[in-house]
Amino acid sequence: MAQTMNPYRRAARNLWSHGRIRGGLSRLGDSSSSPTASAQIPGLNTLPWTNAQKTALQARASAVGQLPPYLHPELTLFLPPADSKAFQVTPLIFPAFPAVGAPAIPIISYTAPQGCIAVINKLAIVYIGGSPPDGTGEVVWQVTVNGAGVKGLNMLTSQVGTYAAPNDTEILLYEGDIAVVQVYCVAGPPPGTTAARFAGWTYPLSEAILPQSFTS
């Protein structure tokens, strides 16, 4: 079964928005916005956490709020820069489905290189075998970044694209972020195997960011 994230980790994930898609580029800041002097988390003191947890999370929120905007306004996720570096990720083997009730197993994994941003702009998740389990609810595929489900890709009960023709997507990663496609079974498991594919590009942080003096 899928693991339930505790409230502290969920709030931290929402704060940092790792790998957020379809929500703009706020992970790296927006050059049209202004730094926030202090980011207060609403209702923090009402949450059932220890004082140490609350202090740590508020400190993180304040640090994020004081960062200057620094995403270069000419950089988009839709069109790779001419000097970006492309990458492809495929599994070494196509794994069989895990047993019902077993933890999710990874199909592919990608770590953004040090000193770079990485953009995953193509995604395929496929079933290889006889009758596919699409729409049966037997199989759930997930795309995660740093262990947190990516919005819109966290509970997929059917295939995405084809292995030869992946679907378009926009998943932004910062250096060290880890993107994973994983699968678990609610029933079955079905015969056959499963596979996934990432394609995208990387770009140096030194080129992706805009110095604060340029935005003031």
pLDDT digits (tens, 9 = 90+) for 124-143: 999 999 889 999 999 999 99
Q: Clarify whether residues 105 and 41 are in a common domain.
A: no
Using the 3D structure, point to which of 47, 75, 103 is the last residue of a domain.
Answer: 75
Total structural domains within the chain: 2
Contact present, 100 and 185 (Cβ < 8 Å): yes
Same domain, yes or no: 67 and 111: no
Whether residue 118 is contained in a domain is answered as: yes
In a domain, 2, yes or no: no
Could you give the CA distance from residue 31 to residue 68 in angstroms, rounded to a whole number? 9
Instruction: Assess whether pLDDT exceeds 60 at residue 37.
Output: no
Residue 57, token pair as written in the block: 């999370």
CATH of the domain at 142: 2.60.120
Residue 170 belongs to domain spanning: 85-206
Same structural domain for residues 64 and 168? no
Q: Each residue of 18-33: pLDDT tens digit?
A: 333 333 344 444 444 4
Check whether residue 92 and residue 27 sit in a common domain: no
Which domain-ending residue is among 75, 93, 112?
75
Rounded to whole angstroms, the Cα distance separating 204 from 175 reads 9
pLDDT reported for residue 47: 82
Alpha-carbon gap, residue 80 to 172, rounded angstroms: 12
Instruction: Please state the φ and ψ torsions of residue 150, each to the nearest 5 degrees.
Output: -80, 130
Does one domain contain both 113 and 170? yes
32 and 114 share one domain: no
Evaluate if residue 211 carries a pLDDT over 70: no
90 and 39 inside one domain = no
Q: Do 101 and 202 have their domain in common?
A: yes
pLDDT of 67 > 70? The answer is: no
pLDDT over 90, % of the chain: 52
In a domain, 12, yes or no: yes
Asked whether residue 97 falls in the same domain as residue 200, the answer is: yes
Residue range 71-127, pLDDT digits in tens? 677 778 788 989 999 999 999 999 999 999 999 999 999 999 999 999 999 999 999
Of 63, 58, 60, give the one whose Cα is nearest residue 42.
58
Q: What is the mean pLDDT of the chain?
A: 80
* Pair (102, 185) in one structural domain: yes
Q: What is the pTM of this model?
A: 0.67
Close Cβ partners of 119 (under 8 Å, ≥ 6 residues apart):
77, 80, 170, 171, 172, 173, 200, 201, 202, 203
Number of residues that this document lists for the chain: 216
1 in any annotated domain? no
Of 34, 35, 41, 33, nearest in space to 15 by CA: 41
